[in-house]
Chain A
């Protein structure tokens, strides 16, 4: 057996154990009651409302992150200011902080003002997905050939035109990749929203929390079924991302 084959074998087994097996278990569990029960679980009014809200709020969060994340990356790469390294380190905080702590923090900070509203969910998701676009765009922007911009200026392009026609097209792949990761994360987020959302059905209830509630009321099949839907959404986004990345 060659080293390459051994490596491949170990990697496959590891991924199977750690990733595929639990996923398969969830899928199997969701089908415990047959296809009909699965369909009933995912098409219940409350489940559909939760899924709709989850997808819409995730899209909104992603859109905001695309703009603000790119802006933050721009400032971190192009501007010089005191405390830049500190701010740079701060970006990763949402990664490091337990998300439940993030939820508690938001709750303590805003309390009655926005707690248990859709705004609260938006804020919580913005917090946990902040790093994705920033960290995707930052290195690309850093490596971007400044002379391209100078060439555009000397050819008569204004700063805005240069950004739109030269800089942005070179950042788009990184922005898309950061956006897809942020979206996938927002769709599956649980910890930061479980407290602050208040879990109001047909209003602030997101799918992950809905699944948790189903578990609590001993509807394990239902919980597994909506989980599978979340899984599919994330999988589709990530697959779409791969397809986009393969284009030249």
Chain B
């Protein structure tokens, strides 16, 4: 259980954390998500004790550790750029925390071998970090952090420096690892996909404040603000309101004058005809009727119309076209 209450951290005029309070359930995998400069890394470092908050408190498993040195917090920390001990072999890197704790040599050797097995690095014991790939280095760093059996595992953009394939692979692997080991884990990421895929809960931060906390689905389906909605997936602005591309679908064939109607989950849109390609069309929202059973109680305001630029003729205006239109982000109102 991690509990941060009213944490505030300022660097000069810049408020990295502005009265932030979060609770992390034991055994959960929580993602701190937000754009850069939102304070997510600072929050993680405050939990680890690598930064001291100007105000507020950090409680780990019932113990107030706000001013406790990181060496006594019992947390495992994994850095974006691995922070591998360059002068030590893989084995000695992983063994470091146990050697500090003066465990018997045989126990250390067994534990290191076991952990390297878990992270898929058995056989790499004698290598130096410079002889490993980025993904391998990060797995070594994870083994090193897990070796001391931390109460809490903190990961600061752990996959941020890796290329896309390795990132996806390690993400899935981390999720499996967490399901096996069940150590309370907090992960910092700016990648909403990573947060959605990995986390049980997401804490979305912006400008040093918590925007919303909840399960990934909750944040996606019931965003508390435009910022949350915009951060968790592609959106288009229609008449001052935000819509997701999949919230809009074309249901009917073009009628006599070439106009089509788009049926969204949150309303009905009429797309009147105009000649040629690349033309201006109007998206008319009729949130009053919901004949086909679609909810109109969405976030889209009951606006009458909005302009959409489409590069397709009315007859070919289909679901995908609308997707394309709306994914084009800022549509002029």
Contacts and interface: CB of A to CB of B under 8 A. Distances in A.
Interface of A: 145, 147-148, 150-158, 161, 165-166, 169-170, 248
Contacts of B70: 150, 153-154
Contacts of B72: 156
Nearest to A168: B87
B83 A153 contact: no
A154 B76 contact: yes
Nearest to B75: A154
B301 interface: no
Q: Which of A152, A156, A166 is the most central at the interface, judged by chain B CB atoms within 10 Å of its CB?
A: A156
B81 interface: yes
A166 B72 CA distance: 18
Given A148-B85, A166-B85, A156 B79 contact: no
Interface in B89-142: 96-97, 100-101, 128, 141
Interface size class on chain B is 20 to 34
Contacts of B85: 148, 151-152, 166
Contacts of A166: 85
A154 B86 contact: no
Given A151-B141, A155-B145, 12 more contacts: A147-B83, A148-B83, A150-B70, A151-B79, A154-B49, A154-B77, A154-B145, A155-B148, A157-B100, A165-B96, A169-B87, A248-B128
Given A145-B81, A147-B79, A148-B85, A154 B100 contact: no
Contacts of B87: 169-170
Given A145-B83, A170-B86, A170-B87, A151 B100 contact: no
Contacts of B165: none
A158 B71 CA distance: 7
B101 A156 contact: yes
Contacts of B75: 154
Given A145-B81, A147-B79, A161-B100, A153 B71 contact: yes
B48 interface: yes
A161 B99 CA distance: 11
Interface of B: 48-50, 69-73, 75-77, 79, 81, 83-87, 96-97, 100-101, 128, 141, 144-145, 148
A159 B210 CA distance: 34
Contacts of B141: 151
Nearest to A157: B100
B51 to A, nearest CB: 10
B100 A156 contact: yes
B96 A152 contact: yes
B77 A151 contact: yes
B320 to A, nearest CB: 45
8 contacts: A145-B83, A148-B86, A154-B50, A154-B77, A155-B71, A155-B145, A156-B101, A157-B100
Contact of B71 (A148, A157, A165, A169): A157
A151 B71 contact: no
B144 A151 contact: yes
Given A161-B100, A169-B87, A170-B87, A154 B73 contact: yes
Given A145-B83, A147-B79, A170-B87, A155 B100 contact: yes
Given A147-B83, A148-B83, A170-B87, A155 B144 contact: yes
Nearest to B84: A148
Contacts of B86: 145, 148, 170
A145 B87 CA distance: 12
B151 to A, nearest CB: 12
A156 B70 CA distance: 7
Closest 4 CB pairs of A and B: A147-B83, A155-B97, A154-B77, A151-B83
B276 to A, nearest CB: 57
A157 B141 CA distance: 16
Nearest to A148: B83
Contacts of B77: 150-151, 154
A33 B96 CA distance: 62
A170 B83 CA distance: 13
Contacts of B69: 153
Contacts of A153: 49-50, 69-71
B118 to A, nearest CB: 18
Contact of A150 (B83, B100, B128): B83
A156 B83 contact: no
B101 to A, nearest CB: 6
Nearest to A145: B83
Most chain A beta-carbon contacts within 10 A, residue among B71, B73, B101, B148: B71
A157 B96 CA distance: 9
A199 B35 CA distance: 70
Contacts of A170: 86-87
Most A CB within 10 A of own CB, among B69, B70, B141, B144: B70
